[in-house]
Amino acid sequence: MTARHFLLDTDLTSADQAAVLDLADALKARRRTPGPADRPLTGRSVALLFEKPSTRTRISFDVGVAELGGHPVVIDATSSHIGRGETIEDTAAVLSRYVDAIVVRTFAQERLERLAAASSVPVVNALSDHAHPCQALADLQTIRERRGSLAGLTLTYLGDGNNVAHSLLLAGTLAGMRIHVASPPGYEPFEQVVRHANEIGAATGGEALVMHDALEAAADADVLYTDVWASMGQEDESDSRSLVFQPYRLDEKAVEAARPDVLVMHCLPAHRELEIASAVIDGPHSVVFDQAENRLHAQKALLSLLLTEGADGAGGPR
């Protein structure tokens, strides 16, 4: 059976995504009292390959694989041969002989695609410069916990049209949500991602919209979301970006413009008083730390789907 990879949010169908979220909820509820069915990775190993620094991703996957009954093998690229010139294809071929899945946190999406093409086991995108699909699954789980369903909700993202914004656009429209992104001119999400999200939305009732006025975008939002203004590798742009992005700060004014029961989200790490006000991230609308916890549960559900027989999902909007 050909390995099924998760390199982009649209590697899941709408039905697959809902199934992952359902299983994530069940695994969360049974976390302290797991049964045999909650340990589908017993006797299996998962490589966790990190080419970028990580806190939440590394710990949540490490703990998650162990809780599923598997053995996590953490590989730091700086201390392995992949960091000394070994090709990504050779790395994939070797790891496929040792482990049952490869989780990768890397830079270019193209590296993930090359790894997956040479791998005979599932490859999971734990973050790339283009997308952060595991984060989006945890975000959807968090919203659904609070709202009961996702279809028809409006999520407004304020800030840089980065990898997190891309995944929210794709995963959100797969769930039938309206995803509004407010970014400064020149910092919008990739146009092809927005176009793809609207193609998905045509089948699910979702919508992708890019705007430039932050408060207009925040009006009547069910969810307000932000991320750092300078991602890893953009540190030298931090000062200039801080000036450009100031109007897109998730602060009390943005919360007041949204619905009274708005949820406030940030994928962390947060630069308090830059992209988000401390009063907001610590306030009554915040579900930021629920998001962080749900990385564990959503990723456990995803690995269970990818590594369980019969998970060859087909059909549905992509």
Angle, CA 18 vertex, CA 7 and CA 13 arms, to 5°: 45
- Sheet with 71-76, edge to edge strand ranges: 71-76, 45-50, 101-105, 123-127
Q: Catalytic residue at 295?
A: yes
Q: Catalytic residue at 246?
A: no
Is 313:174 a contact under the CB 8 Å cutoff? no
Is 290:256 a contact under the CB 8 Å cutoff? no
Helix residue ranges, H only, 105-251: 109-118, 133-147, 163-174, 191-204, 214-218, 238-245
For 276, the 3-state DSSP assignment is strand
Q: Catalytic residue at 134?
A: no
Q: Catalytic residue at 220?
A: no
Terminal Cα distance for the chain, rounded? 21
CA atoms within 13 A on the CB side of 249: 19
CA atoms within 13 A on the CB side of 57: 26
Q: Quote the crossing angle between the two packed helices 288-307 and 14-29, to the nearest 10°.
A: 110
Hey, what are 317's tokens? Answer: 């909007």
Helix residue ranges, H only, 54-106: 56-67, 88-98
Q: What are phi and psi of 254, to 5 degrees?
A: -65, -40
**Which residue among the candidates 17, 56, 135, 196 is catalytic per the annotation?**
135
**Which residue among the candidates 251, 295, 297, 299 is catalytic per the annotation?**
295
Q: Catalytic residue at 272?
A: no
**Which residue among the candidates 129, 160, 227, 251 is catalytic per the annotation?**
227
Q: Catalytic residue at 32?
A: no
**Which residue among the candidates 58, 130, 132, 144 is catalytic per the annotation?**
132
**Which residue among the candidates 56, 267, 285, 299 is catalytic per the annotation?**
267
- Sheet with 154-158, edge to edge strand ranges: 207-211, 178-182, 154-158, 223-226, 263-266
**Which residue among the candidates 4, 5, 58, 105 is catalytic per the annotation?**
105
Which amino acids are annotated catalytic?
105, 132, 135, 227, 267, 295
